[in-house]
Amino acid sequence: MISTAFTIGACRSLIRSSSQVGFALFSTMSTLETLRFDNLALRALPVDKEKRNYVRTVSGAVFSRVLPAPLESPEMVVFSKDAMMLLDLPPSELQRKDAAEYFSGSKLLPGSETAAHCYCGHQFGYFAGQLGDGAAMYLGEVINRNGERWEIQLKGAGLTPYSREADGRKVLRSSLREFLCSEAMHYLGVPTTRAGTCVTSSTTVSRDMFYDGHPKNEKCSVVLRIAPTFLRFGSFEIFKTLDSFTGRVGPSVGRKDILLQLLNYAIETFFPEVYRRCGDDREQMYVEFFRDVVKKTAHLVAKWQCVGFCHGVLNTDNMSILGLTIDYGPFGFMERFDPDHICNTSDDGGRYTYIKQPEICLWNLRKFAEAIQSAVPLSKTSPCLDLYASEYEACFLGGMRRKLGLLKKELVEDKDLVTSFYDTMERTGADFTRSFRCLSTLAVPGHHDHELSKENLLSKLLSCCSSHAELSNHLKAQTSSRDFQLFLILSKNNPELLDQLGKGALAKERIMAQIEKAKELKEMSAEDFEARNKRMWTDWIEAYCKRLTTDVEGVKDLQALQDDRVHIMNSNNPRFVLRNYIAQQAIDAAEKGDYSEAQKVLKILQRPFSDDPLELKGKQVCPAVFDEGFYEGRYALSTAALRVSCSS
């Protein structure tokens, strides 16, 4: 283990020596045998002295050395050319027969040093103690031709000291979902870890997908994940003192020396501008680092909300210090708009619903501040948390103005226009992605096509809505669930407990509103429902046009403005997102040995804003719906109840 008397100066020396990591900025591409590894993290941070790989509490270390467990007959399912180019690896290297061996962990990349990271986390609001990389393995850090540092890791590579009762493996359905969504988010413009490859094998493990007593054997699979670092809030919770509620402590409790070491390494390596600004003023450096993390996190969740993404498991161990989307598990993109949408079947209490994501990320930031308080007091970091709301709102409203094509002015009432759009989508059961996408068909007031385009927009928005039966069934399922009924009982008999669980007055207000909506819908005929939807969308379009009128004031060339609006709106409102049923079709085909659908879906997700016709040649697994509408989500509302679990 390296000395824990680690200073910022020492870190600078390590970075400089590593580079000869300027490595002279290479002009040639790499091969699998010549990747330029520079594994700074293992030199800069304490590594566990214990060499044996068995499940244990790991104290006084940030990493444990481990070796991947080989898989039988590894096979490449799909790779991302763009992601692998971050490592200077051309497609020809990924098409080699042995590429699947390298990226399954069956064969070690020369220069790699495999290890597992120790971290803790608050899971569903409670401190869980030591967690760590239970299936993921650090391979090292690759320096590319541009001098960029990229950490790569294999997820699903086998047992580690942090595997707990699990087997260190991941299966094809969860691996392919993570691969596709990582890349989808990147092309949507949302900060994210990247996915380079997805490899499957003939090795199998037993999984009970819905925890209902029906396990089945599934193929072991591995994803190559890429990011500048996979450090997360939970990385700093290994020093946590006794938790009064769970009775757990971090495995390195009391080791302030390692906390400082970790902070110094993280700041100089990944926040160099903070280091340069603060120099030797350590406390101020930690404050500015935390402030940057607050801003990055606020911007990240605002972008999630703008594309209708639900993470599903927003625990502190799934929050990146770089403001990246990390650890894709039971995620979901919004289909029928529901602010209380739960994408994770394991989230019984609805802690991580769409509408709660901003507040949960703030809660996680508070836990991060607590985790580093022995280095910088809460009195210094807490004021940074006050920036969160304004940073979030500015980013969210900025994104919404681009989605609505409000380009010329920023008005206070824009927030109300967005809120009413969300409310109308909810009341009519409209599809989130398609509803936003069709807004660009409206010509601005004064344009010769304005009146005709209003009628066209109304027709398109109505086509995005649920039927009376679909929305009735959705609300009935919500209000008759066991958890919903339990909430009602507690709200009457033990409201204090609900407050403790983070389900106070606002949650109760939303629950009661759902009951009223279900009641209203039950008393309404299908014809009345459709007529009401038409009135609601007509009213919203009128309000939208009124707001657009202020944008066209003084504009002489309305066509140029309209062209700009359409371009910006269609660059911010995706045509394609990774809907659950699209991912499931790719999974079903891949499990039968047909990887063409996964490769096709990746190509579609790489151009989410494109209006170009899709190339849909190839094997048709589901020919009845295998057309552009299938990928656009025109058939999505009947599948909007699909959710996934934490099983992986």
- Of residues 455, 459, 444, 409, the one with CA closest to residue 563: 444
- Of residues 261, 64, 34, the one with CA closest to residue 160: 64
CA 178 from centre of chain: 10
In this structure, are residues 319 and 232 in contact, taking their beta carbons and an 8 Å threshold? yes
**Which two structure tokens, joined as six digits, stand for 171?**
């299966």
The predicted pLDDT at position 502 comes to 53
Question: What is the DSSP-derived secondary structure letter of residue 146?
Answer: T
**Dihedral sign from CA coordinates of 407, 410, 411, 412:** positive
How many Å from the N-terminal Cα to the C-terminal Cα in the chain? 33
For residues 70 and 639, give the distance between their C-alpha atoms in angstroms, rounded to a whole number.
Answer: 37
pLDDT averaged over consecutive 10-residue blocks of the chain (648 residues)? 45 47 61 98 98 98 98 99 99 98 98 99 97 98 98 98 96 98 99 99 91 88 99 99 97 98 98 94 98 99 99 97 97 94 82 95 99 98 98 99 97 98 97 98 97 98 95 79 63 65 59 78 92 98 98 95 98 98 96 97 98 73 63 72 61
Look up the pTM and report it: 0.91
The predicted pLDDT at position 402 comes to 99
Polymer length of the chain: 648
449 is catalytic: no
The predicted pLDDT at position 372 comes to 99
In this structure, are residues 320 and 304 in contact, taking their beta carbons and an 8 Å threshold? no
Torsion of CA 22, 28, 32, 33, to 10 degrees: -70
In this structure, are residues 566 and 440 in contact, taking their beta carbons and an 8 Å threshold? yes
For residues 192 and 309, give the distance between their C-alpha atoms in angstroms, rounded to a whole number.
Answer: 12
The predicted pLDDT at position 344 comes to 86
The predicted pLDDT at position 622 comes to 46
Instruction: Name the phi and psi angles at 327, rounded to 5.
Output: 60, 75
**Which two structure tokens, joined as six digits, stand for 94?**
């990924």
Does residue 25 come out as left (phi exceeding 0), alpha (psi in the -120 to 50 range) or beta?
Answer: left
Which position among 38, 48, 88, 317 bears the catalytic label?
A: 317
